[in-house]
Structure 1
């Protein structure tokens, strides 16, 4: 029996206790399967001593999400049958489906009994799982476990399509469900700064959405693509992708979709420094939002996040990118006043953007106070971390060696130790 030195080192680097690691793994298992995990301190002890060399698949996925690295890098070694299996990705896919209980392909398709006819209840089951993915994204955002789960559920929807008989309408809805899951995997990858994976998800999602004929999910996917290229610093590609979304029938028919399309266009224009284009797009976005009928039935994914606060957030991003500090700060305050309480990650992103705007205006002391107000539990989110690191660099350029810079440096150091 060989002790797991790699895992012990990872735990030491993060200053975690066995109980803390157990709690985090159990939480990730719940994100993956819908049920809280049963990992205990004794379980962690067995990992560290080498008594357990290759945990079950859902535990490996949870550990991967906690430490953001593959199981092998945590010192775990496949044994026996696991070692001879095709690939780790195949193991993850098979074991995840087995671990997900009531959402398995077998449970939905009745594979042992041969093909069966599927109907609207099967589609509704998948839509309920999609609602869970959207809710998990709002709570956590960017986690590898969300990306993995969404990708697996897309596979589940496609397997249901292949192993069953259905009407053309139901098949179209199954493709739309698969595209929805794939778009959530894409967004989780974007939010977690895993851009190469996001590009791959986009290709798959766009193909599935085209086969579904559902312009609302096509809008989501191409709008996400615009955001992806914006984060990659490619405004030309971002504008082109967002134009695909804006020209879809749903955007012409529903002012809420039109508003989101214009708002994201404004954020992209911010990268080019074209403040006139930013103002023009934001004006169109506000006008469309004012016309949107709140009584209209719409997909969950857009009603769950897009409102006046999110329009303000995109306006803030646009003006911040364009270097219009005063307008950026004004939109930040409006957005924070309107933001829904449950969206902690979004609130944190707005807070850091406000700090950047204050820094741009030369208000260094308020900027540092704003940045220090970001909750520690949210500051570890990849987007928030990157924005705080950029804030650190800008503050160093403006006030290197000052008492204010030292205060921030000490706070940032202690904060990283707390969340590590």
Structure 2
């Protein structure tokens, strides 16, 4: 058995589950609780990209003490309680000597960069994913820990790749280190890169992210080439690399680079099959089905969605099966088969109503009632039932969490197009105006393409004042480069 490259002054001990934190979650699923954490963060002006995996790691005891941003959020959520009441260890017990001295400061005070003073401290990893990398006030502590976590132990192969836009920086000195096998820190940093890309896509859209995501993907496969210290770590690396390939594929997909997206999805699918990772394979097929539908290959979309359902059924996630049924419905709609589409939609709704569970994949945090309504709207739109499509698109936009600017813009663009094609030009123009209001925050070729199509449909109605205003403003929008 390969030994770890990180030494410690004491033998490894399994983490102790955080039962106090688990009790506070109650009957909510990890994804639902993560959403509540994000809402609480926004209430106090914090930015945390909390998801189901983070909640799971806290409850499993892998995160013994949260970073300062999460601490402020948790104490806001549960007033009157201390970190100890929430089941966390004192900060001084999980940090090095430098941080122990700083632990006496209040959480709101600026904190110095921590020194990795002891082997024990070096083994501790917290997901420092609380800052938007586009924020000029990016936290020094977080960026430094992420840089070390990803670059140490990786050797020259890892030094060749940069994750700068996602909070990880190139470390030229790493190229001078002797080659080494990677461990859990690198796997954790890779998983964080996936979370960061998803978070930024939700906020800003894909166009500004796709080219910058090539570095993280190269780094992920460089880590695989370097080898891992343990099989469990190798499994995490392969899974993380596959999920990153899907995330980068989605950025290509959403920015109109369909062939690039197809290649990335195929890469993830190959990784999943090579390692026998059914969850990753189902995810790759899910995105492949969506891409095939958008690329005008409905039969391929149908086959991919059905394959995904066969693979995902043993995983036990009703929400995943619901999403895959919607992917199948999209394929049937593209084949102009309303009966097949309705049957798949009925299954999707029935599975969704069973509620979330711990088996739901982390990447599905976007899939709620709003997304269900939006995907159904797309099916009816493909079938030419514009009034029904508009009803579902309107409901999707109303249900969407305001935090996800891209999805609000997408659903509203769908609504505008359905209204325009359904004979309601004034309402379509008003919806189009709302999308234009969001374009300074969202960069998505998909949304711009939809809006351009709506503008073409509305041209015969340009004498109406509302439509004229929309067309004039749309024409003034700079074209994406």
Structure-1 residue corresponding to 2:393 = 332
The question of whether the paired residues in 2 share the 8 Å contact of 1:182 and 1:204 is answered with yes
Deviations 1:237-260 (A, max 9, x none): 111122221111456621111001
Q: Aligned match of 1:248 in 287, 303, 311?
A: 311
How does 1:174-193 map onto structure 2 within 5 Å? 174-193=237-256
After superposition, the Cα gap between the structure-2 partners of 1:106 and 1:266, relative to the gap in structure 1 and judged at 3 Å, is: farther
What is the aligned counterpart of 2:350 among 279, 287, 294?
287
Contact kept, 8 Å, 1:216 with 1:250, in 2: the verdict is: no
SS in 2 for 1:330: helix
- The answer on whether the counterparts of 1:111 and 1:163 sit within 8 Å (CA) in structure 2 is no
Q: Secondary structure at the match of 2:162?
A: helix
Which structure 2 residue ranges, 5 or more long, are not aligned? 1-131, 138-158
Taking a change above 3 Å as real, the CA distance of residues 35 and 164 of structure 1, as seen in their structure-2 partners, is: farther
2: distance between equivalents of 1:114 and 1:263?
Answer: 46
Between the aligned partners of 1:112 and 1:215, the Cα distance in structure 2 is 36
Residue 216 of structure 1 deviates from its aligned partner by: 1.7
Cα distance change on mapping 1:363 and 1:181 into 2, 3 Å: same
Alignment map for 1:71-110 (pairs within 5 Å): 94=160, 96=162, 102=168
Q: Deviations over 1:252-277 (max 9, x none)?
A: 62111100100122223222332222
Q: For 1:142-291, what aligned pairs fall within 5 Å after superposition?
A: 142-145=206-209, 147-250=210-313, 253-291=316-354
Q: 1-side partners of 2:444 and 2:402: how far apart?
A: 18
State which of 360, 368, 374 in structure 1 corresponds to 2:421. 360
Residue matched to 1:139: 203
- Residue number in structure 2 paired with 1:122: 186
Alpha-carbon shift at residue 196 of structure 1 (Å): 1.8
Structure 1 CA distance, aligned partners of 2:420 and 2:358? Answer: 41
Kindly indicate whether the alpha-carbon contact (under 8 Å) linking 2:162 and 2:219 is maintained by their aligned counterparts in 1. Answer: no
Aligned-residue offset at 1:418: 10
Residue 311 to residue 157, structure 1, CA distance change in 2 (3 Å): same
Match of 1:12 in 2: none
Matched residue, 2:368: 307
Equivalent pair of 1:252/1:258 in contact (CA under 8 Å):
no
1:149 Cα offset (Å): 4.2
| 1:409 and 2:471 aligned | yes
Task: Give yes or no for contact 1:235–1:271 (8 Å, CA) kept in 2.
Answer: yes
Give the whole-Å Cα distance in 2 for the aligned partners of 1:418 and 1:337: 28
| Cα separation, 2, equivalents of 1:390 and 1:160 | 43
More helix by share: 1
Which digits, 9 at most, give the CA deviation of each residue in 1:27-47, with x for residues without a partner? xxxxxx947679xxxxxxxxx
Q: Which aligned segments of 4 or more residues in structure 1 are displaced greater than 4 angstroms?
A: 35-38, 97-107, 400-405, 417-420
The aligned length equals: 330
Mark the CA change 1:115 to 1:236 in structure 2 (over 3 Å): closer, same or farther.
same
Equivalent residue, structure 2, for 1:341:
402
State whether structure 2 residue 358 is matched by structure 1 residue 296: yes
Which sections of structure 1, spanning at least 5 residues, go unmatched?
A: 1-32, 39-92
- Residue 266 of structure 1 aligns to a residue whose secondary structure is helix
Q: In the alignment, what sits opposite 2:77?
A: none
Instruction: Tell me the TM-score normalized by structure 1.
Output: 0.70
CA contact (8 A) 1:105 1:160 kept: no
CA distance change for structure 1 residues 362 and 102 in 2, over 3 Å: closer, same or farther?
Answer: closer
Which residue matches 1:60?
none
TM-score by length of 2: 0.62
Name the CA distance, whole Å, in 2 between partners of 1:171 and 1:234: 35
Q: Closer, same or farther in 2 for the Cα pair 1:286/1:35, shift >3 Å? A: closer
> For the structure 1 residues 97 and 191, does the alpha-carbon distance in structure 2 shift closer, same or farther, using more than 3 Å as the test?
closer
